[in-house]
Amino acid sequence: MPDGCEVAAWRPTVDGISEVFHARVVDYGYPVHYHDTWTVLIVDGGAIRYDLDKRACGASGDVVAVLPPGVAHNGEPAPGAQGFTKRVLYLDQALIPIDLVGAAVEQTNIDDFGLRSTIAGLHDQLRAGELLQAESSLSLVTERLIGHLVGDPSGVSADEPQIARKLRLLLDEHPAGGFSLNDAADTLDRSKAHLVRSFSAAYGIAPHAYLIARQVETARQLLLAGTPPADVAATSGFYDQAHLTRHFKRHTLLTPAAYQRSGPSETT
């Protein structure tokens, strides 16, 4: 690897994301190539110059770059830039209609700070292993991307309070998890993005955050009942002990073990 370059790549267990790719590139140019996936790229530092379908393009700052599947491109630091730091999502073709490839070539750069912020948050969620939250964010990202590519970024369906209530009932029926946003979308016959927006508008909290809060409440009751902290994570619906501890501390300021010990000592 050239001096000053860094790369991290992995495949998260989130439907629709083929690969996450983070890189710091200095004094290096990618050869002409293409991907079978949609490439969604944000630049955290520096600037990129690339040719997409023989069109000179570039990305930096608040721009979201979208490169469609099957279209040849390259990439290198823009003139005058010392390099660039980028975060990339490679999204399965099924997430964005393939007939929008031409629109993505014409509008490879999307200037939408809100979209960029959601994408940045999604990367943070994927790195932290917050998969339910990442699933919600991904649905909002794809909805917004499609809106831009069809020329109507605000053209989303109205929120539905009744659908929000139905989703809440479904989450309440599965407090320990095991019911994904995909399952909810199939059950309620709505897009995942629509469910997230409707639920958030109705209750002031996103579905994943609501479920996490319920799981923390379950964990608290188990700990107060004397359940060993090592057994609480799986019972309350968390992936593992670290996942429980991270969210438990956010809600209570204490680790599960410290929370269990925090009451007054019994005296004889």
| Token representation of residue 232 | 């609480």
pLDDT at 220: 95
Same domain, 15 and 92: yes
Same domain, 180 and 214: no
Same domain, 35 and 83: yes
User: Is residue 129 in a domain?
Assistant: no
Same domain, 252 and 176: no
User: Is residue 101 in a domain?
Assistant: yes
pLDDT at 143: 92
User: Is residue 267 in a domain?
Assistant: no
Same domain, 76 and 48: yes
Q: What is the CATH number of the domain that holds 257?
A: 1.10.10.60
DSSP assignment of the chain: --TT-EEEEE--SSTTEEEEEEEEESS--EEEE--SSEEEEEEEEE-EEEEETTEEEEE-TTEEEEE-TT--EEEEEPTT-S-EEEEEEEE-GGGS-GGGHHHHHHT-EEE-HHHHHHHHHHHHHHHHT-HHHHHHHHHHHHHHHHHHHTT-TT--PPP-HHHHHHHHHHHHH-TT----HHHHHHHHTS-HHHHHHHHHHHHSS-HHHHHHHHHHHHHHHHHHTT--HHHHHHHHT-SSHHHHHHHHHHHHSS-HHHHHH-SPPP--
Question: pTM to 2 decimals?
Answer: 0.82
pLDDT at 268: 45
Same domain, 221 and 166: no
pLDDT at 131: 85
Q: What is the CATH number of the domain that holds 100?
A: 2.60.120.10
pLDDT at 70: 96
Containing structural domain, residue 227: 210-261
Q: Which residues of the chain have pLDDT under 70?
A: 1, 153-158, 178, 266-268
For 63-89, the pLDDT digits (tens) are: 999 999 999 999 999 999 989 999 999
